[in-house]
């Protein structure tokens, strides 16, 4: 384990087993769909998306969106900024948003509203981690992998100042070491 972590929350094996379960949920949920697009929010969703899509059997396309993080006290009007938009037109499509973690819910609420304005056939949210205590807006996800308490986590896509996304496990990061990254 990286020495700046307090504990490992989910091992590589636990994550991979969970993602297989989530892929089965995707197949069941979209069994009647011919127009599924998995939309990953960059950059945190990359390891999750890569693992998930290999386990999903339903035909689908993939696309990505980059939004600015909410850091710097987004405040009540803190809507995340789009850095890179989708390549696909999503009108009439079944959209499944893939996210690493939902905390305050601000990012996904804004993204969901933006996507709804583009008139997809359906829109759902799948997040690997759900930090329910962090919520400041009403934002229900359709499916999550693991529910976690209000602690700062890193690994498997989740970053500390852009680093540590490569770790194959997810752990509780000791924030006193944050300046080392
Ligand atoms: P929110 O739901 O709008 O607060 O934002 C969620 C985003 O904040 C996620 O996509 C992550 O990029 C980031 N985030 C929230 N909690 C953590 C954490 O514990 N570790 C690393 N990134 C986090
Ligand atoms: Mg993110």
CB 50 within 8 A of CB 15: no
pLDDT at 108: 94
Give the Å distance between the CA of 180 and the centre of ligand 2.
Answer: 21
**pTM given for the model:** 0.94
| Full set of structural domains in the chain with CATH | 5-180 (3.40.50.2020)
**CA 102 to ligand 1: nearest atom:** 2
pLDDT band at 81 (very low <50, low <70, confident <90, very high): confident
Instruction: Point out which residues pair with 90 in neighbouring strands.
Output: none
Pocket lining for ligand 1, CB < 6 angstroms: 44, 69-70, 99-107, 131, 152-154, 158-159
The answer on pLDDT for 71 being more than 60 is no
Average pLDDT, integer, range 151-176: 97
Give the Å distance between the CA of 31 and the centre of ligand 1.
Answer: 30
- Counting Cβ atoms within 10 Å, is residue 114 exposed (0-12), middle (13-18) or buried (19+)? middle
């Amino acid at each position: 384990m990286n020495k700046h972590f307090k504990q490992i929350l989910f091992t590589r094996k636990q994550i991979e087993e969970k993602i297989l379960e989530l892929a089965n949920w995707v197949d069941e949920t979209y069994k009647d769909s011919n127009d599924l697009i998995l939309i990953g929010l960059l950059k945190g969703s990359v390891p999750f998306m890569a693992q998930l899509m290999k386990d999903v059997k339903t035909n689908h396309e993939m696309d990505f969106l980059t939004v600015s993080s909410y850091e710097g006290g987004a405040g009540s009007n803190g809507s995340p900024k789009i850095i890179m938009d989708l390549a696909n037109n999503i009108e009439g499509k079944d959209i499944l948003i893939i996210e690493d973690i939902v905390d305050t819910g601000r990012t996904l609420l804004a993204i969901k509203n933006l996507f709804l304005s583009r008139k997809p056939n359906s829109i759902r949210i799948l997040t690997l981690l759900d930090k329910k205590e962090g919520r400041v807006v009403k934002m229900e996800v359709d499916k999550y992998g693991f529910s976690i308490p209000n602690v700062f986590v890193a690994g498997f896509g989740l970053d500390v100042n852009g680093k540590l996304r490569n770790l194959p496990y997810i752990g509780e990061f000791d924030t006193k070491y944050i300046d080392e990254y």
